[in-house]
Amino acid sequence: MASASAAVALEAVSKWYDNVPAIQDATLEVMPGEFMVLLGPSGCGKTTLLRLIAGLENPSQGVIRIGGRVVNDVDPKDRDVAMVFQSYALYPHMTVRRNIEFPLRSRHVPEQERNRLVEEVAGSLQLEKLLGRKPAQLSGGQRQRVALARAIVRRPLAFLMDEPLSNLDAQLRIEMRAELVELHAKLGITIIYVTHDQVEATTMGNRIAVIEGGRIQQVGTPQDIYQRPVNAFVAGFVGNPPMNIIEAKVELSGDVVNASFQGASFQLPADLATLLRKKEVSSVLVGVRPQDVSIVKEDTVGMGQLRAKVSLVESVGSVYRIICRLDGGGFVTVDAYRDKREIRTGDMVELSITGDMHLFDAASGERLEP
């Protein structure tokens, strides 16, 4: 099943702490040169998965391969991976050069070779002019590059990064994301990157593994995951602002299939209607992204599908984000353009679904596929 060419491969890996499962049945392949992001909420098992790959934890079950070799019984130091943590853990009393060459010195690499390797990596990270400085004399971004240089200098098979940007301020974080993506492209390195920030995940990753409750829910490109989330959890977690998810009853009447909830009802498009007839599902979760809902004042047209009252209007850059309370009680977020600036808090409005609708089984949360 596992392809021999993967840089890192997990096969049915589980990890229990006492009787509590932290990772369950994780199967994942990271290809050489890939930027793989592990994304999920706090406590879902991201760090545990990274530590299993690094060898800092032993799996309770399953097989871990690095560069095609089974490493379950291999020491962390012999796994040929480099871990980059949130705090870069540079040695404060050593110069940048000393910091970078540290792993080479501890492997007794001869001086001439050491200098060649340090200068090569310093060149590719634009650190040549900083080699004589101490960490305290560097900016946050420069420190991060030194930490990366120290990891890169010994050419590991994969880099494991656990929220490495989380203690930087917002502006620097955006710059560092860009630097890391550039560096990845330039050096062709394999990165497994942990974050709980879905914006970070979708902007940086070639692919994302979404994790919840110790289980990998979906692995795919950012587009795959955004366009076809496999379940309601992924649908609600990836996307900013989150997808609106409304639980509705399925009502068949003649040729028409309606989704109804708390007194409101709207007709489903033909393809989804056919799907629901076939599946015989009685209750669904209807998911719609905020930009796929249109909004009009109640008295303007009178043809909307759902009545609602405006609770809050936020101006976010080029869009208005309008939070509405449905007659039935639930909230719906709508991203509208500037032409909707006549809509104010307290207005009665009508909402229509104009874009893609995602349907999930209300009982299991699984996506309903044709």
Ligand X SMILES: Nc1ncnc2c1ncn2[C@@H]1O[C@H](COP(=O)(O)OP(=O)(O)OP(=O)(O)O)[C@@H](O)[C@H]1O
Binding site for ligand X (CB under 6 A): 17, 20, 22, 40, 42-48, 196
Query: What does 112 bind: ligand X, Mg ion, none (CB cut-off 5 to 8 Å by kind)?
Result: none
Of 186, 198, 184, 86, which Cα lies nearest the Cα of 140? Answer: 86
Min separation Cβ 237 and ligand X, Å:
13
Min separation Cβ 85 and Mg ion, Å:
10
Q: Which C-beta is closer to ligand X: that of 237 or that of 266?
A: 237
Interface residue with Mg ion, options 27, 47, 291, 305 (CB under 5 A): 47
Min separation Cβ 19 and Mg ion, Å:
21
Choices 46-54, 106-114, 321-329, 335-343; region in contact with Mg ion by CB under 5 A: 46-54
Contact 312, 357 (CB under 8 A): no
Contact 40, 13 (CB under 8 A): no
Q: Which C-beta is closer to ligand X: that of 4 or that of 20?
A: 20
Q: Which C-beta is closer to Mg ion: that of 216 or that of 359?
A: 216
Q: Which C-beta is closer to ligand X: that of 22 or that of 54?
A: 22
Of 15, 11, 10, 25, which Cα lies nearest the Cα of 59? Answer: 15
Q: Which C-beta is closer to ligand X: that of 50 or that of 351?
A: 50
Q: Which C-beta is closer to Mg ion: that of 47 or that of 352?
A: 47
d(C-alpha 243, C-alpha 232), whole Å = 9
Query: What does 97 bind: Mg ion, ligand X, none (CB cut-off 5 to 8 Å by kind)?
Result: none
Interface size with Mg ion, residues (CB under 5 A): 1
Q: Which C-beta is closer to ligand X: that of 22 or that of 230?
A: 22
Contact 285, 344 (CB under 8 A): no
Min separation Cβ 214 and ligand X, Å:
7
Euclidean distance between the first and the last CA atom of the chain, given in angstroms as a whole number: 27
Q: Which residues contact 21 (CB under 8 A, 6 or more apart)?
A: 14, 15, 214
Q: Long-range pairs for 103-112 at CB < 8 Å and ≥24 separation?
A: 103/150, 103/153, 103/154, 104/153, 104/154, 107/154
Min separation Cβ 46 and Mg ion, Å:
5
Query: What does 161 bind: ligand X, Mg ion, none (CB cut-off 5 to 8 Å by kind)?
Result: none
Min separation Cβ 238 and ligand X, Å:
16
Sign of CA dihedral 295, 299, 300, 301: positive
Residue 86 makes contact with Mg ion by CB under 5 A? no
Choices 41-49, 105-113, 206-214, 292-300; region in contact with Mg ion by CB under 5 A: 41-49
Alpha helices in 55-110 (DSSP H): 96-105
Q: Which residue is associated with the tokens 């940086």?
A: 204
Query: What does 331 bind: ligand X, Mg ion, none (CB cut-off 5 to 8 Å by kind)?
Result: none
Q: Structure tokens of 88?
A: 């870069």
Q: Which residues bind Mg ion (CB under 5 A)?
A: 47
